[in-house]
């Protein structure tokens, strides 16, 4: 049995966490199946959607599996290995295609770390965000110290970790965790719509937005402008010229309808 479903919808890969009886808790088996799915999507799709089957996106790390592993008192490895969580989530955030996360219900711990690896997040009004690791005697381990902290800032993330504070969908929007809020049952549809639009962009531009843009944000002002200039000096693909001519000749398709109607629910 696979704990992650995979389906192609045109140029968009739909990747679903499929362990609803455990609130899509992230076990080693789930992580393995997720890595296989995102590797497949990188080769086949132009954009992808992450979602959770059942009532929740993901409740995070499988604590029962962790407890059993600790109780076994296995000797530590001879040398430190790269984190499988870091490798998988980095491949989502800085891989070849953009990801849209459709969130609902529990999106906590490792589930929130996974969601923050996506480039766009759509949350249903039922979504709850949390980082309860401290109450379980553990520290975040899926890259949250980097991804979540850069979104929330230290103070808000520390508050959530130290006190167990949960954020509602609206609070998540206020703290930049999500860009879109939708009524219950509509996150996946909205995420699919956004991913389809993203897949219509030139692949190289999508790659620059998801890989170059965040790196420039880590640079100094002058270095950022320098890297921007280097990217603009790259050879243009024939597709770029076709798209420019389509716009000039008024052959380009108009922007998707409906965007203006929900701007009040966007960040």
The pLDDT tens digits of the residues spanning 3-54 come to 999 999 999 999 999 999 999 999 999 999 999 999 999 999 999 999 999 9
**Which CATH number goes with the domain that contains 99?**
3.90.226.10
SS3 label, residue 155:
helix
Q: How many domains does the chain have?
A: 2
Domain check: are 188 and 222 in the same one? no
Domain check: are 24 and 156 in the same one? yes
Cβ contacts of residue 1 below 8 Å, gap of 6+?
Answer: none
pLDDT (average), residues 155-159? 96
Strand partners, 123: 103, 181
Domain check: are 193 and 212 in the same one? no
Q: Quick one: which of 93, 94, 95 has its CA closest to 115?
A: 93
The last residue of a domain, from among 141, 172, 199: 199
Strand ranges, E, within the chain: 4-9, 12-17, 47-52, 99-103, 106-108, 120-124, 128-130, 167-168, 180-182
Q: Assign residue 242 a region: left if phi > 0, alpha if psi is -120 to 50, beta otherwise?
A: alpha
Domain check: are 180 and 215 in the same one? no
The last residue of a domain, from among 164, 182, 199: 199
CA quadruple 79, 40, 16, 144: dihedral sign: positive
SS3 label, residue 115:
helix
Q: Which of 133, 155, 228, 239 is catalytic?
A: 133
- Work out the number of other CB atoms within 10 angstroms of the CB of residue 219: 13
CA atoms within 13 A on the CB side of 255: 3
Lowest-confidence pick of 71-85, 93-107, 211-225: 71-85
Per residue in 96-148, pLDDT (tens digit) is: 999 999 999 999 999 999 999 999 999 999 999 999 988 888 889 899 999 99
| Most distant CA atoms of the chain, gap in Å | 69
36 noted as active-site residue: no
113 noted as active-site residue: yes
Contacts 24+ apart (CB under 8 A), 242-248: 243/202
Using CA atoms, how far residue 247 sits from 159, 234, 241, 255, in Å, is 48, 21, 10, 12
Structural domain including 256 reads: 203-265
- Higher pLDDT: 105 or 76? It is 105
Domain check: are 257 and 159 in the same one? no
CA 102 to CA 118: how far, in whole Å?
Answer: 10
Domain check: are 133 and 244 in the same one? no
The last residue of a domain, from among 182, 199, 216: 199
Q: Which of 28, 36, 113, 171 is catalytic?
A: 113
């Amino acid at each position: 049995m696979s704990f992650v479903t995979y389906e192609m919808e045109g140029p968009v890969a739909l990747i679903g966490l499929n362990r609803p009886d455990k609130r899509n808790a992230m076990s080693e088996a789930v992580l393995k199946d997720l890595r296989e799915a995102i590797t497949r999507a990188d080769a086949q799709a132009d954009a992808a959607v992450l979602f959770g089957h059942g009532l929740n996106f993901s409740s995070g790390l499988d604590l029962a599996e962790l407890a059993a592993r600790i109780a076994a008192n296995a000797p530590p490895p001879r040398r430190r290995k790269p984190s499988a969580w870091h490798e998988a989530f980095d491949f989502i955030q800085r891989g070849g295609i953009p990801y849209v996360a459709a969130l609902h219900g529990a999106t906590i711990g490792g589930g929130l770390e996974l969601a923050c690896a996506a480039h766009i997040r759509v949350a249903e009004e039922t979504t709850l965000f949390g980082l309860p690791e401290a109450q379980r005697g553990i520290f975040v381990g899926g890259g949250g110290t980097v991804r979540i902290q850069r979104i929330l800032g230290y103070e808000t993330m520390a508050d959530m970790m130290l006190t167990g504070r949960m954020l509602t969908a609206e609070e998540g929007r206020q703290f930049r965790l999500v860009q879109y809020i939708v009524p219950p049952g509509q996150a996946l549809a909205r995420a699919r719509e956004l991913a389809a639009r993203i897949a219509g962009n030139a692949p190289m531009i999508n790659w620059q937005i998801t890989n170059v843009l965040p790196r420039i944000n880590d640079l100094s002002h002058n270095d950022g402008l320098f890297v921007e200039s280097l990217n603009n000096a790259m050879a243009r693909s024939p597709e770029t010229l076709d798209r420019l001519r389509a716009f000039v000749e008024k052959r380009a398709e108009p922007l998707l309808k409906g965007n203006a109607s929900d701007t009040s629910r966007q960040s």
